[in-house]
Structure 1
Amino acid sequence: MQGTQTKASARVSIVMPTYNRAHFLKKTIESVLSQSWSGFDLLVRDDCSTDDTEKVVCGIQDHRIHYYRNAQRLKMPDNLNEGIRACDGDYILVCHDHDLYAPSMVAQMVEFLNTHPTALFVHCGIAMIKEDGIPTGRQYIGNYPLLAHGPSWLSFMLGRFDCPVCANSMVRRSAYEQHGLYDPAFGLLADVEMWMRLSLHGDVGYIPQPLIQVRAREQDHEYSGINWTVVDIVLRIQRLYHEHAFTGWYRWWRWMRLEARAERYVLAQYLVSICKKDRRAHEEGRRYLKNSGMLLSRIIAWGL
């Protein structure tokens, strides 16, 4: 696939992994089907849901929808990877099963990738909504270059512990073919590692508009609240790509800076768990700091 394809010829595959979100799924799928760009297929990957997911999806009559139910639970990102392997589009867009999508989102992303052949993926701004769909009033529209040089973008991502890229991004299929799919070692944060990996090999596109309404996760979601598995994965990804991104004395300086920031980061998470009287997060944090923290955090974990 070449980046010089015309807008009329580019084919889009949309992958929507889902698990037990039948109550959100109908509106989410309808927002995808309402796109001004109609040249796409929507592959819904049901990871053995126990609710009415299959009934909801099959009840929507549109030839672009393809429903597949796994024989056994794959979890993320394996379910997503299987969906990507089944795609035949030139561009592949991941859509979460509980978010809502502006009618122009696909068209704008396709136009961007058509116009910028060096970009391996394109992401956009977001607006937050509550579980019930009511807007929170919060939007995240970064002051980022429309086309960022890949290594510069990677350096930017390595300077922060949150991720400036929404997981609902459009990627060239050729990028997945050349640089691999999502790494299961990083669980639900595999997309963060993917954006860093692709930034090593190409440029990054950005559309500064809130084209996605991101719904707040359920309160009982496994990654909600203070989660030390997430903390550990964030730091593992950071350390991995500091090795790839920097060389010489500058790598040493960035590494020292990272470790100082990591120490502040884990201590802040730990102290928040204490202030919120979250016993589970507190106990898990104490174990984590005793095993993986630096000197100060280990001392505090033994004392608090």
Structure 2
Amino acid sequence: MNIKKGLVSVIMPTYNCAKFIGETIESVQAQTYSNWEIIIVDDCSNDHTKEIVEQYSEKDDRIKYYCLESNSGAAVARTAAMSIAAGNYMAFLDSDDLWTSDKLEKQLEFMKKHGVAFTCTAYEQIDEDGKSLEKVIKTIPKTDYNRLLLDCPVGNSTVMYNVEKMGKFEVPNIRKRNDDALWLQMLKKEKYIYGLNSVLMKYRIRKNSISSNKIKVIKYHWILYRNIEHLSIARSVFHILYWCVIKVLKIK
């Protein structure tokens, strides 16, 4: 595996995100740690996403744009980006989320100081216009496979891992919950994902997104538990009910 020391590959699948992706790219360009590349894989957007990205990539060769041959879903786009990435660290960033300017610097410092390979951070929620919703999602010191199954305390756009130590992965091909599915695969190789309880990411809550429709998301939980993780029916039902209770009570 040909990897570049010190380089952070930012994995960014995208689809019809012209409204937000420019600001997302700028949040990476504003990083105090500058040794990064962005691998953007477009899942055949039919808006102006490509044109927006090219405005940035023409001026900054660290930004690399690719487009899938056909619309295949975020999991396929994310896997494609990971296969192209050259960094010995990978960080994940959805094309509508934002990083604080010190995100990479602080997270790398945390990983090196504690000698850990797989990490996430706390984050705050913002609305479609970027306004804070005054809600912070904290992380926990360390999460193992069973804890992540119970109630995933990991924000996708906060995750970073050491590729040299853990290798590359293929994202399980489901339309939603594929980020959780990826972390579960990775936790079979690395025992814990460690949490840095600093708010280093802003998660954008968008209206009418698939994840905002909780009923539809249930079927993806079932696919994840039964078809990908091969849990028993009883255990799968337990985890789905647990997730539903949390959402109803608005604990998370």
TM tier, shorter chain?
0.7 to 0.9
Aligned-pair RMSD on alpha carbons?
3.0
> Aligned partners of 1:242 and 1:49: how far apart in 2?
33
> Aligned partners of 2:219 and 2:72: how far apart in 1?
22
Normalising to structure 2: TM-score of the pair?
A: 0.83
Paired residues in the alignment total 242
> Aligned partners of 2:68 and 2:22: how far apart in 1?
20
Deviation at 1:154, TM superposition (A): 2.1
1:224 counterpart residue number: 212
2:40 counterpart residue number: 44
2:167 counterpart residue number: 177
Name the one with the larger helix percent: 1
1:93 counterpart residue number: 91
Normalising to structure 1: TM-score of the pair?
A: 0.70
SS of residue paired to 2:175: helix
> Aligned partners of 2:88 and 2:241: how far apart in 1?
42
Q: Could you tell me which amino acid in structure 1 is paired with residue 30 of structure 2?
A: S
**Conserved 8 A contact 2:43-2:74:** no
- Note closer, same or farther for the CA distance 1:112–1:136 as it changes in structure 2 (3 Å cut): same
Which is further off, 60-69 or 195-204?
195-204
Name the one with the larger strand percent: 2
1:128 counterpart residue number: 125
> Aligned partners of 2:175 and 2:117: how far apart in 1?
22
Could you list the runs of 5+ residues in structure 1 that have no partner in the other structure?
A: 2-7, 244-251, 272-304
Q: Which has the larger radius of gyration?
A: 1
SS of residue paired to 2:185: helix
Q: 1:156 aligns with which of 139, 147, 160?
A: 147
1:193 counterpart residue number: 181
1:214 counterpart residue number: 203
- Note closer, same or farther for the CA distance 1:259–1:25 as it changes in structure 2 (3 Å cut): closer
Deviation at 1:242, TM superposition (A): 8.2
> Aligned partners of 1:261 and 1:74: how far apart in 2?
28
Q: Which has the higher contact order (CA 8 A, sep 6+)?
A: 2
Could you list the runs of 5+ residues in structure 2 that have no partner in the other structure?
A: none
Deviation digits for residues 114-136 of structure 1 (CA, Å, limit 9, x no counterpart): 2344x332111010001111111
**Conserved 8 A contact 1:48-1:69:** yes
SS of residue paired to 1:51: coil
